[in-house]
Amino acid sequence: MEYRIEHDSMGEVRVPANKYWGAQTQRSLENFKIGEGKMPKEIINAFGILKLAAAKANATLVPNRMTGEKLDVIEKSANELLCGALDGNFPLVVYQTGSGTQSNMNVNEVLANRGNEIAGKKLLHPNDDINMSQSSNDTFPTAMHIAAVMTIYKRLYTPLSHLIGEFRRLERENEGVIKSGRTHLQDATPISFSQEISGWRASIERDYEMIDASLEPLKNLALGATAVGTGLNAPDGFDVAVAKEIASITGVNFRTENNKFHALTSKGEIVFCHGALKALASDLLKIANDIRWLASGPRLGLGEITIPENEPGSSIMPGKVNPTQCEAITMVAVQVMGNDTAIGIAASQGNFELNVFMPVIINNFLESVNLLADAITSFTDNCVSGIKANRDKMKENLNNSLMLVTALSPHIGYENAAKVVHLAHEKGLTLKEATLCLGYLSGEEFDKYFKPEEMV
């Protein structure tokens, strides 16, 4: 491999000749060989957005330093980053400095070196030009917020809408199909299958609403705080101007955070938003468990619905088919819950003017979003869309349910109704047989009051 010599404030470093990064990136690459997870691409793209926005704001506020020539070259190199042309130049791992300084410098060095190549001369310096009016301490939390918001918009909302739409279709198809309800895994009073599905659908809709609401605080940006929140070395108005540029580039109403000291120290907005993602994971786990319980069998379980048979389920038991999509999405839900714990603990760390657990926070956050997006798509397409009600089995189970006796309680009293249930269960009688045996109602009266289809 061929190398070139780069330098930083600590001296010279050998860097692969075919890469655009510089000395600080190379030092981090050599000093942090921890795990295989690289800084997420969403963060790198967010850095590309904010570096372009910062250059534009600086060109307006300090044109003597950010000249038109420099802006033009930075804009070209930043757009190359955003379209993926510079992929392969961002090798740093997640477990690095807790401020994300090395990834900030990675982007600064790549944009400067690629910009100089475009310009055909030494025009840009990674610190003086690409990082002008910034600090790693305000750029990394800004990149976190941009990446979090944009990834949810681009990755999660479409799968959620698709799942909600499939539940709505299933509701319509199963209107008026009556089945036994269940609480505590025990028989309960009747419910229509469409009502049961509506509970699933409404849960996902509410999660969507909560996630959407949680994005608003994330649209406040730290950029302009520089090192400790005072805005040192940033021109007056830079924070407002750069937020407007970011909003213009992304089409999202990002704005500057009024209290920059909060912006550098607290990660509460990320915790809040991931809490909404955890709520979604909790509901998905519950719904997937409902579906696999209802589909259990095919002969010895509940068997009230069928789900698609996508692949063989056993290497030893021929013909066995398992609820694999339910299993996959519940595993994702558990991972999201684990990520939430890590994010919450990490957000509580750091001292005085800076949180120093930012890379692990955003890595876990983005993993949750991407896992949920993929899992929901797979679950919807390969399981939910193929759910079919086994109406005969639902009717059979409904008619065998002792909890239908609840319809008789207003007429014979709670305690007498309980006696009917116990007698029917102990002697293997129907509810009507037990009621007549105990003399609580005539056959005609029983038929008048006992109408399961009216209990929903």
Decide if domain 151-219+265-390 falls under CATH 3.10.450.40.
no
Of the residues 248, 314, 348, 442, which is catalytic? 314
401 given a catalytic annotation: no
Angle (deg, nearest 10), helices 41-61 and 238-250: 130
378 given a catalytic annotation: no
Q: Which class is domain 401-454? A: mainly alpha
Fold of 3-132: Fumarase C; Chain B, domain 1 (1.10.275)
Comparing C-alpha atoms, which of 254, 224, 278 is closest to residue 46?
254
The DSSP annotation for 304-352 comes to SEE----S---SSSTT----HHHHHHHHHHHHHHHHHHHHHHHHT--BT
What digits encode the pLDDT tens for the residues 128-144?
999 999 999 999 999 99
Bridge partners of 388, per DSSP, are 306
* Structure-token pair, residue 104: 């900030």
What digits encode the pLDDT tens for the residues 322-377?
999 999 999 999 999 999 999 999 999 989 999 999 999 999 999 999 999 999 99
Block mean pLDDT (10 aa), the chain, length 456: 93 96 97 97 98 98 98 98 98 97 98 98 98 98 98 98 98 97 96 98 98 98 98 98 98 98 98 98 98 96 96 93 97 98 96 97 98 98 98 95 95 96 96 96 95 91
Fold: same for 3-132 and 401-454: no
Buried b (16+ CB within 10 A) or exposed e, 438-455: eebbeeeebeeebebeeb
Residue 350 is predicted with a pLDDT of 85
| pTM confidence score | 0.96
3-state secondary structure of 370: helix
* Domain limits, the chain: 3-132, 151-219+265-390, 401-454
Residue 220 backbone phi and psi in degrees, to 5: -85, 130
